[in-house]
Amino acid sequence: MNIKNAHYTGAAGRNSLIDLEIPADWNEEVLVFIHGFMGFKDWGAWNLVQAYFVGKGFGFCKFNLSHNGATTACAEDFPDKEAFAQNRYSYEVEDVKFATKWLEQHVSTKKIHLIGHSRGGGVALLAGKHLTNIASITTWAAISCIENRFPKGEELDKWRQDGVRFVQNSRTKETLPQYYSLYADFKEYQQDLSIDAAIRELTIPVCLIHGSDDEAVSMEDGRQLASWGKVSLHEIAGANHVFGAAHPYTDAMLPEHLSKVCYLTLQAMFSVK
What pLDDT, in 10s, does the model give residues 64-120? 999 999 999 998 889 999 999 999 999 999 999 999 999 999 999 999 999 999 999
Distance (Å, rounded) from C-alpha 169 to C-alpha 62?
Answer: 22
Distance (Å, rounded) from C-alpha 135 to C-alpha 104?
Answer: 14
Q: Is the backbone peptide bond immediately before 151 cis, with ω within 30 degrees of 0?
A: no
Distance (Å, rounded) from C-alpha 93 to C-alpha 19?
Answer: 18
Q: Which of 77, 28, 23, 30 is nearest to 51 (CA)?
A: 23
Distance (Å, rounded) from C-alpha 95 to C-alpha 65?
Answer: 6
pLDDT tens, 25-70? 999 999 999 999 999 999 999 999 999 999 999 999 999 999 999 9
Q: Would you kindly state where each structural domain of the chain is located, as residue ranges?
A: 2-150+193-270
CATH architecture classification, 2-150+193-270: 3-Layer(aba) Sandwich (3.40)
Taking the CA of residue 230 as centre, how many other CA atoms within 13 Å lie in the half-sphere pointing to its CB?
Answer: 5
pTM given for the model: 0.97
Distance (Å, rounded) from C-alpha 209 to C-alpha 143?
Answer: 11
